[in-house]
Amino acid sequence: MNYITIDQTLLARLRDVAEPVELRDADGNVIGQFTPVRSTEEQALYEKARSLFDPAELDRRLREQQGKGVSLNELWDRLAAEEKT
């Protein structure tokens, strides 16, 4: 991968970027994207969260629940009934 060494001014601006961001020129044209490197600790948390969810299981549950939803009013009624007990 090629790289560009940035000056201290741009470095100072990019240090506080926490999420991917578009880089634009003065006319508003997109020239690229900057994605900050996550800290090792943050990366470990993302990996742990990712390991807790199985995409196949989520898909299976969504298919299983297809058409079994309730209206918002039904949900409120059900929650209100649970509060009374």
CA distance 21 to 29: 13
Count CB neighbours of 14 within 10 A. 13
pTM tops 0.75, yes or no? no
**What pLDDT tens digit does each residue of the chain (85 aa) get?**
899 999 999 999 998 888 899 999 999 999 999 998 887 888 888 889 989 989 999 899 888 888 888 889 999 999 999 988 7
| pLDDT for the residue numbered 46 | 85
CA distance 11 to 81: 56
Where on the phi/psi map is residue 29: left (φ > 0), alpha (ψ -120 to 50), or beta? beta
